[in-house]
Chains A and B, each alone.
Chain A
Amino acid sequence: MSAAPSPTPLTPPPLATLRTVLALSRAEHHRFAIAAGALFLGAIFLYLVPLVPQAIFDVVIGDESKASTISQRVVAFLGGAATVRESLWRPALLMGALAVLAALAVHVKTRIAMGAAERIARQTRDRMYDRVQRLPVSTLDRIPSGDLIQRCTSDIETTRNFFAGQAPEIIRAVLMLVIPLPIMAMLDWRMAIASIVCVPVMLIYTAVNFRRMGPYFGVKETTEASMTANVTENLTGIRTVRAFGRAEFEMRRFEVTSGAYRDADAKLFRLFASFWSTSDLLCFAQQVIVVGLGAWFLSNGSLELGAYFYFLTVVSMFIWPVRMLGRMVVESGKALAAVARLDEILKEQEERDLDANTLRSALVGESTQKSSHGMHIVFDRVSFAYSGGPRVLDDISFVLPAGKTLALIGPSGAGKSTIVQLLLRFYEPNSGSITVDGIPLAQIARATIRSQSGVVLQQPFLYSKQLRENLLAGVRVASAHDGALESATATACIHETILGFPEGYETVVGEKGLTLSGGQRQRVAIARALVQAPRLLVLDDALSAVDMHTETAILASLRARQHFPTRILVAHRLSAVVDADLILVIVDGRIAQRGTHATLTKEPGLYQTLWEIQTEVADPDAIEEEVSA
């Protein structure tokens, strides 16, 4: 995938992105609140656990009179020092129970937060899928497919990880740091301060470090991309490599690109090595401060053993989550960038019809689905340019009565396909009007005009499904019977071919199945269009990959069909257009000539020139000349 890697954002994302994050998770806010509540309770239970042994050390083992209030309360809760000494299982049970409660809270939090994240991911996947497939063609032209796929897959994954991981982790780290503060302060304020002196240093160190590493991630991505490009290029041209016997030469090239990637990756590892070891040192420094200072207080009698035990246990409980905090914040930055990229697409305008009241759904064929009436199509002074580009169509006017055939011929790039695409409302004309059955096209829902048209594009797409499913892809009602299917495939001269496949009509085609040739795909697509029983049949150079014989056969059987829609043929070969009721010769976006085969052959111009070639070829004299030349 050649999608440009998204740059790591080095500045905090704008507030708008945070708003998008809130909007994406709106339906799950209450769940996240519950998860946060569970985290809060869980942290409290977790910090209560070491209170039990510290109370035992102070009251039960140590000198009861010197014990802190907290220790005395804990022991009182357990039934008093004497009882506890008799039945030591009591503090153990309390400790176990608190640990189980803490674990339960973690379970609730994990389950709810991850569940909410999954739901958000699923909803976003569906929304993105639907949004992208409903984007106007002009938008799809603009955004590369690789980019869109990346947004739909890895950006959604990053967003999911943010909701499932980073966001809860950040909250957890903060809670883990804040909750023990009052308990610590109550036990010994000097120790409490000593317990957190390293925290700010660590936060700053981590954040600065991860930012500084940003460029190195960039280098790794670039070298990886160029190595991938190297492999792709080599494999695409493997025939050339082999033909020229250049394996060794290619090997040397690859060792360079692969080596550069290895070095960039190793460099990152080295940076990580210093980062993790240094931040470990910071964490340990915090522990050493607590242990050392506590030991000193302990030896001069100003600190009880229980409190000492509590501090050294608690420091190791919050220092590691805090160490991750800086990293989580930096990674959330990346996640927010992904959210912003998703939002860009979700903000794109879909193809939009007029609202239901202004829509005129009363197309002739609408009431009688099986109507054999073709569409009556009128183009009146239609002009069009792709956004910002030069004019592609200029002043196109024609009337195509129901059931008649229009042929468009002319040089490639002249605008023939564009006429068809305007009719299907892939694009909107800049000026002029198009009407179908007397109704302005803009007042007809896109789905209506498209579902009543059978369209075969030059490079038709088949879904990775069975042939039968592909052929029925455009049929609304599931009632299309095998007879209609086979008559369509017979007309498109593909029935026999399909029967020759191992699984017949059940053969899976496309990426996961059988690869059809270009001509076979075109023929399947023609059959697919015919199965729709369309009121308009559009063949946009749809026979380009079909050999001459088959083309003739298909055109003949199309003419022989009973159901006779209006037809538009975009053709590169004259043979396909001779029978058309109206032929338009399109040159540079304008109608250069119009007429029928009979009139156009008599008129000097492109059509006549083309026709002369045909006749010249069939002329035996010319061949004789060639032979004797």
Chain B
Amino acid sequence: MDLIFAEATPPGRGGVSVIRLSGDAARSTAEALVGPMKTARRAYFRDLRVEDETIDQVLAIWFASGQSFTGEEVAELHLHGAPVIARRVHAELFARGARLAEAGEFTRRAFLNGRMDLAEIEGLGDLLAAETEAQRRLAMRATSGELARRTEEWRSWLIEAGAFVEVSVDFADEDVPDEVPERVYELTERLRTSIEVEIKGFSAAERIRQGFEVAIVGPPNAGKSSLLNRIAKRDVAIVSTVAGTTRDVLELRLDLKGLSVTLLDTAGLRESEDEVEIAGIERARNRAVTADLRVHLSDDGDSVPDLFQDGDIVLKGKADLVGSQESAVSAVTGAGVANLLDRIYDLLSQKTAGAGIVSHERQLNELHSAAASLQDLRGLPVEILAEELRKCGHALDRLLGRIDAEDYLDKIFSSFCIGK
């Protein structure tokens, strides 16, 4: 493969900047800059020299093909983190025939070389995007090949069942059982149950991956925005405060004891005659309806009736005015805010129980199609039973990107930049 390189650390000024090279000439190209490095996987502290001029003092290391992230020969140059140094090294690498890696190209090469399967790559993408502890844990399970191991086990059951079916078809003139043995149904039932456990674990895993949405709803002047501001000033890890998709929704993303939670301030839930505002309010309402949880805030502790769902939190606002109460909160004094965040966490963490290892829509679809093939097998003619088992096997293959991978490869590899 041709030689590609990219900065593995974020661009800009920093302590260290790492340039990673992958391809046939990775080692020799790095050695041209820092001198010979005899042993793989050993760090060398060297002068990076070009034509007798020392550009920087660097740490260099190389990995042999078959023992690297991409599966190819890989070299890394750890420079001091000044953009001018990185720019100079880029120029030297271009001059030696290397090119800048395209988005996701390192990972693509890892996949092509059989170092990672599709589910692991999806997991790696999640890991790099992880912001909270729960997200990190979930992604780590995916990227360490847990799904691949589970799938291999499923496949072995499927192969055993298939063998029992095929023997009665292809060896009909031999001394073999003519009926489909009970063992086949045992195996396919066990497989279906196991796949369905993962399907059930999807929505929890997906919530962990995508994060939860909690909407604060209530009449105007109930103190929703003040509450949001109060939470934002508290000692929780704030991820971002960004304007929402509409001018009527404000989002506050925070890391709540490891869960990624986005608080929505659905300001402006009121009667209006302005058509644009009505449309905006409608969107705010819709966000509130689809949120994982709603906090109803009002002066008298009533919920917003048409938005209320079981399990919602109902609070009195302005606790500083009405006096401290169990289900009241004050944006002014902060009373009840910690209690509210605890309640939100408790309610949401119930929804993460039983999180599976499948957290992507694509993976879920393959699981559904695999499980569908295993429905109601009893009584099917043997050749159709065999066909269903085959279909199930194809779905499991696609789960790991064994086949039909090309279609979504481009999508996956271009949707995040790994290895830069």
Partners in one complex: no
